[in-house]
Amino acid sequence: MVSKILLAVSAVLIIASLALIFVYVPTEKTMGVVQRIFYWHVPLAWNSFLAFFIVFISSIAYLWKRSPKWDILANASAEVGVVFTTLFLISGSVWAKPVWGVWWTWEPRLTTALVLWLVYIAYLLVRSYASSSERGARFAAVVGIVGFLDVPIVFLSITLWRTQHPSPVIFTGGLVPAMLLTLIVSIFAFTALYGLLLVQRVAFRKDEADLKRMKRLVESD
Amino acid sequence: MENLGYLLAVYTIVWLVIFGYVLVLIRGQKRLRREVEQLKDALKDKATK
């Protein structure tokens, strides 16, 4: 039921977002049409941060309560977060090429974002290399908590250091109302999509864990 | 419409990656369903023995 609602909401909002981006929003004067990448680049970044925040909270809860449900939630959110981070890195890189003249530069925002991606790739890999699933979950939870420290660094990197990346425009009145509306709709669209993917992944992981338990029971009989 | 190619590339890549991820999820669910069926068969065999 929740999945169906999230699917409907994300489908409607993504269609609305596309319509606003390609039909409604005015073209930005300096960068031209390529600035429209912004309307999906920012929601992807926001949802990556949200996903890793969920990993952070769930990892603390797992280490505290040792309940597998928190590990399942953290693992699912990390996976979706890595997908979104991959996409915001790619969209940023493609945007950089026509605007900065390069696909990639080692400036603070890009570097800290790449580190974030690598941290959560490590989070997903650490489980596969652990000797037991319980041990893997514990190691991953530690990575999930420590790794989250990079999220505020990524967020604040454009104000803490001199960077090539544009300064914040969302909360400083740098967007005209049509641009702000387009961005808000896109953020909601991707948040609904994140919710949908998370719900699906959690359900899958739960079923997988149940199946493993049942297999063990059958084999032990 | 300068740089339109970059814009279209981003929107295409985002869609392709998300669809790819959804396909991975669907394949995983199919595998899980198959394993449940196998387990059911194994249980039935055990019950009849």
In this predicted model, what pLDDT tens digit does every residue of A140-173 receive, in sequence order? 999 999 999 999 999 888 888 777 777 666 666 6
Residue A59 confidence (pLDDT) above 80: yes
First to last CA, chain B: 73
Give the tokens for residue A215.
Answer: 């297999």
Q: Which residues 104-163 in chain A show a CB within 8 A of chain B?
A: none
Residue A195 near residue A6 (C-beta atoms within 8 A): yes
Contact between chains at A204 and B28 (C-beta distance less than 8 A)? yes
Residue of B nearest to A98 (CA): B3
Report pLDDT for A221: 65
Domain limits for position A130: 32-220
Residues in CB range of B33: below 8 A, 6 or more apart: none
In the prediction, which pLDDT does A165 show? Answer: 73
Query: Residue A148: inside a domain, yes or no?
Result: yes
What would the two tokens of residue A43 be?
């929601």
* pLDDT tens digits for range A10-35: 999 999 999 999 999 999 888 889 99
Q: What pLDDT, on the 0 to 100 scale, is given for residue A171?
A: 67
Report residue A21 as tokens.
Answer: 């981006």
Are the C-beta atoms of residues A70 and A61 closer than 8 Å to each other? Answer: yes
Q: Indicate whether A201 pLDDT > 90.
A: yes
Task: Scan residues 53-112 of A and list those with Cβ closer than 8 Å to B.
Answer: 83, 86-87, 90-91, 94-95, 97-98
Expressed in angstroms, the distance from the first to the final Cα of chain A is 36
Is A18 exposed, middle or buried, given 0-12, 13-18 or 19+ CB atoms closer than 10 A? middle
Q: Does residue A214 belong to the interface with chain B, where contact is any CB pair within 8 Å?
A: yes
C-alpha distance from A45 to closest chain B C-alpha (Å)? 13
Cβ-Cβ contacts under 8 Å between A and B: the total is: 69
Chain A CB contacts of B29 below 8 Å:
204
Q: Maximum CA pair distance of chain B?
A: 73
pLDDT value, residue A128:
81
Residue A100 domain flag: yes
Domain count, chain A: 1
Rg of chain B over CA atoms, in angstroms? 21
Of B2, B10, B43, Cβ closest to residue A40? B10
- Segment A94-106 shows an average pLDDT of 91
Nearest to A40 among B14, B32, B42 (CB): B14
Q: Look at residues A105, A96, A16, A19 and name the one whose alpha carbon lies nearest to residue B6.
A: A96
Closest residue to A94, CB basis, from B1, B9, B28: B9
At B35, which helix (H) or strand (E)? helix B4-48
Helices (H), ranges, chain A: 2-19, 38-65, 68-100, 108-129, 133-147, 150-160, 177-220
Q: How far is B1 from chain A (nearest CA, A)?
A: 6
Q: Is A32 in Cβ contact with B3 (below 8 Å)?
A: yes
Instruction: Please compute, for residue A14, the number of CA atoms within 13 A of its CA located in the half-sphere on the CB side.
Output: 17
Residue A209 lies in a domain: yes
Q: Cα separation of B33 and B42, whole Å?
A: 14
> Residue B6 sits in which domain range?
1-49
* CA dist., res. A128 & res. A77, Å (int): 17
Compute and round to an integer the Cα radius of gyration of chain A.
20
From residue A82, alpha-carbon distances to A19, A139, A201 in Å are 27, 18, 13
Choice among A56-60, A78-82, A207-211 with the minimum mean pLDDT:
A207-211
Domain count, chain B: 1
- 3-class secondary-structure state, position A32: strand
